[in-house]
């Protein structure tokens, strides 16, 4: 499940492979994007869950993988591991196909245009890059949200801070001992700051290779505290963990009814 750390790592990898390269072709939903052919890639960056690919002709591709999207690289002509019908975006350069499968959104923007500025400006600071202060995030939250907003929705709101996804949401709430349905207006400034400091720490700790890890105990019992562990015992207290679809978008949330 791609979250901010995944997109950060992806931007780093694609930058090393593609920046400075000239596209041989570009295809969106199977159709050639003639306007991008032969353009040189000037930069690749991420903000939260969004990837931006800037081209010398003035266009910028915005890619949001959603829950199921992924990028693959293949030598041109090699068979792909997924069906071509699932290829949302294909960039070909220097004998390689860079294939984005099952993306939630791909949009062509003007690199210096209003729409791209609006797209990036309305996102909160990227916790894996920007090191925002808790005070600045609290100001954004109080400006944009009502006190009745549940914590499950607060943490997933990319306008406050970008990069937190559904896995981190559950892990952060567990580590800070917050009941998921607690209202934003009911927590202290200190608890708010602790939630986002933990989020930043987890994202930064997972910018290397390998699977996403929030639990580092070398006991063979798992690398996540609660996510995906419904019905299993809590690592802290032994209580069976719960799973329920909570919040505005009814996303799966895992938590310990005793510790939280």
Catalytic residue check, 147: no
Say which of 2, 150, 169, 212 is annotated catalytic.
2
- Report how far apart, in Å, the C-alpha atoms of 234 and of each of 224, 239, 241, 245, 259 are: 11, 5, 6, 19, 9
Neighbours of 35 (CB within 10 A): 13
Q: Are 182 and 151 in contact (CB under 8 A)?
A: yes
> By the 8 A CB rule, do 229 and 214 touch?
no
CB 61 within 8 A of CB 89: yes
**Integer Cα distance of 129 and 204 in angstroms:** 8
The residue from 86, 142, 236, 251 that is catalytic is 251
Q: Considering the candidates 3, 150, 171, 176, report the single residue annotated as catalytic.
A: 3
Within 13 Å of residue 9, how many CA atoms lie on the same side as its CB?
A: 17
Decide if 148 is catalytic.
no
Tell me whether residue 47 is one of the annotated catalytic residues: no
Please tell me the distance from the alpha carbon of residue 170 to that of residue 11, in angstroms, as a whole number. Answer: 25
For 176, other C-beta atoms within 10 Å of its C-beta total 18
Report the C-alpha gap between 202 and 5 in whole angstroms.
9
Yes or no: say if 48 and 3 are a contact pair by the CB < 8 Å rule.
no
Is 236 one of the annotated active-site residues of the chain?
Answer: no
Q: Which among 27, 47, 49, 169 is annotated as catalytic?
A: 49
Neighbours of 106 (CB within 10 A): 18
- Catalytically active residues are 2-3, 49, 251
């Amino acid at each position: 499940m791609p979250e901010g750390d995944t997109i950060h790592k992806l931007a780093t990898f694609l930058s090393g492979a593609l920046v400075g390269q000239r596209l041989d072709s570009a295809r969106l939903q199977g159709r050639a994007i003639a306007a991008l052919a032969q353009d040189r890639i000037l930069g690749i960056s991420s903000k939260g869950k969004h990837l931006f690919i800037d081209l010398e002709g003035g266009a910028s591709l915005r890619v949001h993988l959603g829950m199921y999207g992924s990028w693959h690289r293949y030598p041109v002509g090699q068979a792909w591991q997924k069906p071509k019908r699932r290829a949302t975006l294909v960039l070909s350069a220097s004998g390689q196909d860079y294939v984005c499968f099952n993306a939630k959104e791909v949009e062509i923007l003007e690199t210096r245009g209003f729409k791209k500025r609006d797209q990036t400006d309305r996102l909160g600071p990227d916790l894996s890059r920007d090191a925002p202060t808790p005070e600045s995030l609290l100001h954004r939250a109080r400006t944009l949200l009502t006190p009745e907003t549940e914590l499950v929705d607060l943490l997933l709101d990319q306008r406050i801070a970008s990069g937190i996804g559904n896995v981190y949401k559950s892990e952060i709430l567990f580590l800070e001992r917050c009941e998921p349905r607690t209202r934003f207006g009911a927590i202290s400034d200190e608890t708010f700051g602790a939630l986002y400091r933990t989020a930043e720490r987890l994202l930064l700790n997972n910018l290397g290779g390998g699977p996403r890890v929030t639990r580092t105990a070398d006991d063979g019992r798992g690398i996540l505290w609660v996510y995906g562990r419904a019905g299993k015992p809590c690592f802290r207290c032994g209580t069976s963990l719960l799973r329920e679809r909570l919040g505005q978008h009814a996303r799966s949330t895992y938590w310990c009814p005793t510790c939280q």
